[in-house]
Amino acid sequence: MKSNPRWRLITIVAFFLLFSLIIAGNLYKVQVYSHDAYTRIADKQYSNGEGDIFDRGQIYFTSKDGNKVSFAGVKEGYIVVAEINKIIDVEDTFSKISAVIPLDKDDFLNKLNKKSVTSVELARHIEIDKGDEIKAKKIPGIRLAKERWRFYPGNEQASHVIGYFGYGKDSTLSGQYGLENFYENVLTRKDENLYGNFIADLFINFKKTVVDGEDLSGDVVAGIEPTVENELEINLNKIQKAWNPELVGGIIMDPKDGKVLAMASLPSFNPNSYGSAKNGRVYANPLVQGRYELGSIMKPLTMAAGLDSGAITAKSTYKDTGSITLNGRTIRNHDGKVHGVTSMQEILSQSLNLGASYVALKMDVDSDKSFGAYMERFGLGTSTGIDLPYELNGDIRNVKSKREVERATASFGQGIAVTPIEMVRALASLANGGYLITPHVADSLEYRLGTSKVVDGGEPVRILKKETTDDVTKMLVKVVDEVLKNGTVKMDRWSIAAKTGTAQIADPVNGGYYKDRFLHSFFGYFPANDPKFVVFLYQLYPKGAQYASETLTDPFIDLTKFLLNYYEVPPDR
């Protein structure tokens, strides 16, 4: 039987198409996907093998106009190597090199006096221009090897968000803390078989991405806005200088989708020289890994719970007697005054502890509308799911206690401890119409194969009625317009909802609370009628002021004005 010429032609064409696809794929692999790896191998051979072929994915921040700005990358430069037996004049050698880069003479001489080796490293991480200058001197016995290392252009900026690349507890190099740790599987570069079979690689990568859903190596694009991050850190430094707290931090977030625009804490560290930190605790991000009694910024949540459950209305009143005794313990207002018949608005305006206690105790303790149930709805006591490592859960056991005194003190932020990011997520629900969102630092993961993955918090969950958040927002706007600094910080064209918090700090040695040590907190969102930002600030044990309204109002207002101007936010009133 004769073969069909038409099918023979189709077979031949198909073969050449497949062959062309393989060639094109290999060209893509060599010229694009593995270009950097081949370049590094060539550099290593050129530099006599002294260097390494280190590589790691980039961490980008995103400017407001969508441009990516590298905040963690790989830098190229040189290692300066001395071949001891080839050095002719030690003094001349030191003089010529130290004229370009700083060298310690004693260290230099000690290295050259080593009899057990033929070559030693004199310096690492030498930038290209400096290395080329040394190379041009043609110093006998001195050669330069190409090197690549992890580099952080922002130095200390956003260090708690980024983390660092270095040695961990198991003495292996990997991402430590921050995004470097959380997205290790994306940022790391596995050993590549550059000469492997392209077709095999193609099917292996297909299986990883499509079948197994395994993340491939790539870059992390964070939603942190560099200018906003810088402005936050400027204000934190001002707070640090003015009040000398043990710790100060802040978060700026979009309350609608949970995108973190800025996050910082002091003291911080420089990931380029992470080993120089005097205290290893500085690497931990206290905004995610620290739990605190945050004080009266809890009161808007208590008010929202009371309104949403029906235990109170916005027009309810209570009789403020100045103090109440519950389970043998007396609770007082911060000002020690008796306020008589008092409205719900005044609970927030005057930050009345007895008022918050009244609301919490009015709620049915044994139903899904209890104070404790609402605090759990706000996500307090659970991790937020933010894409940063080692996140702690808050301890809010007292909100469901049968003892009235524990629910009462929890209502104004004492006796329960939560992380700042937990509190920010909860408070964001007042700004976004009643939804619990998931905070996230990364916006997307961009894989080297050309695909990408959006990082978001998933679908928001409704936890409050819209009417509830409208009522609380109106109250908080009135706090700013009429009470905060006697109304002098009111903005005529933009409405701002905000609340201060002052909490006593627990005494771990003697029990109870210090009488002269406080934690100050402040949160707000704006424009209140359609919030674009929620801002949180706090400081631990500031010196020279008792109340947060004294120390954090001005930094908050400065950040508010900056954000409204920088993003050109239209007025809402």
DSSP 8-state class, residue 4: P
For residue 96, what pLDDT is reported? 95
For residue 559, what pLDDT is reported? 98
Same fold: 50-219 with 226-276+286-566: no
Q: How far apart are CA 535 and CA 266, in angstroms?
A: 17
Residue 108, helix vs strand vs coil: helix
User: Which pTM value belongs to this model?
Assistant: 0.87
Pick the CATH number of 50-219 from 3.20.20.370, 3.30.70.120, 3.40.50.150, 3.30.70.2110: 3.30.70.2110
Domain ranges of the chain: 5-33, 50-219, 226-276+286-566
For residue 404, what pLDDT is reported? 95
pLDDT, tens digit only, all 573 positions of the chain: 455 666 666 666 555 565 555 555 545 544 544 445 444 444 444 344 444 468 999 999 999 999 999 999 999 999 999 999 999 999 999 999 999 999 999 999 999 988 788 999 999 999 999 999 999 999 999 999 999 999 999 999 999 999 999 988 778 899 999 999 999 999 998 754 444 444 444 444 544 544 444 557 999 999 999 999 999 999 999 999 999 999 999 999 999 999 999 999 999 999 999 888 778 899 999 999 999 999 999 999 999 999 999 999 999 999 999 999 999 999 999 888 999 999 999 999 999 999 999 999 999 888 899 999 999 999 999 999 999 999 999 999 999 999 999 999 999 999 999 999 999 999 999 999 999 999 999 999 999 888 999 998 889 999 999 999 999 999 999 999 999 999 999 999 999 999 999 999 999 888 889 999 999 999 999 999 999 999 999 999 999 999 999 999 999 999 999 999 999 999 999
For residue 196, what pLDDT is reported? 44
For residue 4, what pLDDT is reported? 60
Judge whether 572 and 530 are in contact, CB under 8 Å.
yes
Q: How far apart are CA 184 and CA 179, in angstroms?
A: 8
**Shortest CA distance to 296 belongs to which of 557, 558, 512, 546?**
546
Exposed / middle / buried, residue 103 (Cβ in 10 Å: 0-12, 13-18, 19+):
middle
Helix residue ranges, H only, 118-165? 128-136, 159-162
For residue 24, what pLDDT is reported? 52
3-state secondary structure 498-546: EEEEEEEEECCCCCCEEEEEEEEEEEEEECCCCCCEEEEEEEECCCCCC
For residue 179, what pLDDT is reported? 98
Cα–Cα distances in Å, from 80 out to 94, 114, 121, 132, 192? Answer: 12, 17, 6, 11, 28
Fold designation for 226-276+286-566? Beta-lactamase (3.40.710)
**Shortest CA distance to 412 belongs to which of 324, 508, 295?**
295
Exposed / middle / buried, residue 238 (Cβ in 10 Å: 0-12, 13-18, 19+):
middle
Judge whether 559 and 231 are in contact, CB under 8 Å.
yes
Residue type, 571: P
